[in-house]
Amino acid sequence: MTMPSEFADIHYGFFREISRNNEPQSTITCDLVFIGENAYADYRSFVDWCNGSTSLHLIYMPYGTTEFRRDVYINYLTKTELTDTRWLTVPASMACLSPWYRAAPTSMSMSTESGYVLKYPFSYTSDLIYSSSSAGSMAADIPAGGHIPAAFELTYKGSIINPKITLKGSTTNKVYGICSLNATLTETQSFTVSTFYGKCRVEITNTDGTTVDALNSVDLSYEPFPRIPITEDCVLLMGADSDIEGTATVRVYYYYRSV
C-alpha cells in the first residue's frame, strides 16, 4: 500500500506536486529479471522500447483483471552480468509522475432520428447511447469514485460549431466547470478536451491527422478543465451553436491514494 504525494490545483486546473512527505514510494526501486537463452538481447530490446516511448506506465493488477496505472519515468537501469542460471538481473529505479488511477471507458453516440435526449441505464461496462436534441446537446452520467477528483478525456468527431462542455453535479446542480470552444469543425475533424492531471489540453485534429493546440480558442472566464468530485455524481453535457451529428467518446480516470 502506498500514499501519493500531496498535490494542488493551479490556474486553469493544472496539477502540481507540493509535497512528497507522505509518499513512501514516490520512487520505486526494483529488479528487472530477463530469463532465457537471449537475456542480453531481450534487455537491449527493452531498453530500445523504453527510450523510443513518449510515456511509460506502471501497471498493477492486484484483483484479477482490474488494472491500475501510474505514470512513471525511468531514473536508471543498471546492467549486470549473467548469473549462473543465465539470468540477467537489472536493478532499476522509476519516479512516479501521478497517483494510481483506473481508466473506466464509457462511450456516447449520436443519432439524428429523434428530437429528444434518450438515456439508457448506466453501468461501468455498458455504452451510453443518446439521440440528438433540438438544442443540439448530448450528456452522460458519471458516478463519483476514487480518492481524489477524477479526470476525464472527451473526444468528439464530426461537424460542430462552438462546442461547450459543462460538468454539473447531479444532486446540487453545481457547475464545476465549462470548456467553451470558439471553433467550427467539419465532419472529418475532431476535438479533444482532457482534464488529465498534468496533461490538461484542448486539441483539434485535422483531416490529415495533424493536431493543433486550441487553448487560445477556449473561453477562460470559466474553469475549462473541471474534474469529477469524489462526493457527488455528475452529468457531463455537451452543447453547441449547431446540430450535433457526430460521435463522442469519454474516458474517465479515477485516482486512488492507495491500491
> End of a domain among 57, 82, 98?
98
Considering the domain architecture, whether residues 45 and 139 belong to the same structural domain is answered as: no
Any domain includes 1: no
Cell of 116: 429528444
Considering the domain architecture, whether residues 93 and 111 belong to the same structural domain is answered as: no
> End of a domain among 54, 82, 98?
98
Count of beta carbons in the 10 Å neighbourhood of residue 69: 16
From first to last of its 259 residues, what are the pLDDT tens digits of the chain?
344 444 444 444 444 444 444 554 688 899 999 998 899 999 999 999 999 988 899 998 888 888 888 899 899 999 889 988 889 999 999 998 888 888 666 555 433 333 333 333 333 333 343 333 333 468 888 889 989 999 999 999 999 999 999 999 999 999 999 999 999 999 999 999 999 887 899 999 999 999 999 999 999 888 999 999 999 999 898 889 988 888 888 888 888 888 8
* SS3 state of residue 71: strand
> End of a domain among 98, 128, 156?
98
Considering the domain architecture, whether residues 94 and 105 belong to the same structural domain is answered as: no
Considering the domain architecture, whether residues 115 and 93 belong to the same structural domain is answered as: no
Cell of 49: 522500447
**Strand 66-77 to 56-63 pairing:** antiparallel
CATH classification of the domain holding 43: 2.40.30
Considering the domain architecture, whether residues 133 and 177 belong to the same structural domain is answered as: yes
The pTM score is: 0.71
Q: Whose CA is closest to 113, among 98, 127, 102, 129?
A: 129
Can you give the residue range of the structural domain that contains 131? 101-256
Considering the domain architecture, whether residues 12 and 107 belong to the same structural domain is answered as: no
* SS3 state of residue 117: coil
CATH classification of the domain holding 134: 2.60.120.880
How far is the CA of 6 from the CAs of 18, 117, 125, 126, 179, in angstroms? Answer: 6, 40, 31, 34, 26
